[in-house]
């Protein structure tokens, strides 16, 4: 059975010293999660996976950062759909009902009751332990998960103390990191058409219309319906525009008018 320990006292690890300013400076940037990961790695014998997340319930979690094997990242939708509710992580939420409550959760493969969950996320990749530190905020839980591979062994008591201290410094930063890093509102189609006209004078009016919709993420079929033209025509206009602009994807199109 997974073990849960409520944390009443913690101490910031001395090793974090100079790096704490880096964490503060990284809030709201793409470097925040990587900075936390680097701290985890510097304080322990290793970590195969590091996750930062927020949760409003056992069934509703939002991942802010992940460091893991690519094949595991591919399984995230499966985890959310089939395994999230049975993850012992939810028990740590129950153990931290009040704001500022903190709990340490240690999960080993045998603690996962769903065979397919255990096999895919623990046994097959050689994960021998997952450490979670959960903190209750005013309106949500915040957490960090750290998975250890068999080659690194399970966490020692000293490593756990360091991870708890690091987590208690980092987790209150997650809401601010989320707010600062929230993506800007998407540009309206009309604005995208205007920008293509200003920056890509070689395009015809119809090519600008098609490019604007492609840059916004609209599919070929949706573009055809929106403009009242055939699907084949959309593909033709898009191909011509790509050739004129020297691009090969909607992402490259978007970069032309959003940077």
**224 and 96 housed in the same domain:** no
Q: What is the dihedral of CA 78, 48, 29, 189, to 10 degrees?
A: -30
**218 and 101 housed in the same domain:** no
**51 and 112 housed in the same domain:** yes
What is the band of 11 on the pLDDT scale with cuts at 50, 70, 90? confident
Range of the domain at 227: 189-258
Q: How far apart are CA 164 and CA 12, in angstroms?
A: 8
187 phi, psi to nearest 5 deg = -70, 140
Segment 29-39, tens digit of pLDDT: 989 999 999 99
What is the band of 205 on the pLDDT scale with cuts at 50, 70, 90? very high
**198 and 158 housed in the same domain:** no
CATH number (domain holding residue 173): 3.30.450.40
Lowest mean pLDDT among 7-16, 56-65, 94-103, 109-118: 7-16
Copy the structure tokens of residue 197: 């006209």
Specify the DSSP element, H or E, that contains 237. Answer: helix 231-245
**44 and 134 housed in the same domain:** yes
**49 and 159 housed in the same domain:** yes
Segment 183-200, tens digit of pLDDT: 667 789 999 999 999 999
Q: Provide the domain count of the chain.
A: 2
**176 and 76 housed in the same domain:** yes
Report field, pTM of the whole predicted structure over 0.85: no
- Using left for φ > 0, alpha for ψ between -120 and 50, and beta otherwise, residue 7 falls in beta
């Amino acid at each position: 059975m997974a073990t849960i320990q409520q944390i009443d006292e913690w101490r910031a690890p001395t090793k974090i010293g100079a790096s704490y300013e880096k964490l503060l400076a990284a809030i709201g940037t793409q470097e925040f999660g990587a900075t936390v990961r680097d701290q985890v790695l510097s304080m322990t014998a290793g970590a195969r996976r590091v996750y930062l997340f927020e949760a409003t319930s056992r069934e509703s979690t939002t991942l802010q950062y992940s460091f893991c094997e690519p094949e595991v990242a591919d399984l995230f939708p499966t985890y959310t759909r089939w395994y999230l509710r049975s993850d012992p992580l939810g028990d740590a939420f129950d153990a931290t009902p009040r704001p500022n409550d903190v709990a340490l959760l240690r999960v080993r493969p045998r603690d996962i009751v769903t065979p397919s969950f255990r096999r895919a996320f623990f046994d097959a990749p050689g994960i021998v332990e997952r450490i979670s530190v959960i903190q209750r905020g005013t309106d949500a839980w915040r957490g960090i998960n750290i998975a250890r591979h068999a080659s690194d062994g399970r966490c020692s008591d000293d490593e756990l103390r360091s991870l708890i201290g690091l987590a208690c410094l980092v987790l209150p930063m997650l809401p601010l990191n989320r707010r600062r890093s929230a993506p800007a509102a998407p540009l309206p189609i009309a604005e995208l058409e205007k920008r293509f006209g200003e920056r890509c004078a070689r395009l015809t009016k119809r090519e600008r219309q098609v490019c604007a919709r492609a840059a916004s993420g609209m599919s070929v079929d949706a573009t055809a319906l929106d403009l009242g033209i055939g699907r084949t025509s959309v593909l033709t206009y898009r191909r011509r525009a790509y050739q004129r602009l020297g691009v090969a994807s909607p992402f490259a199109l978007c970069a032309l008018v959003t940077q």
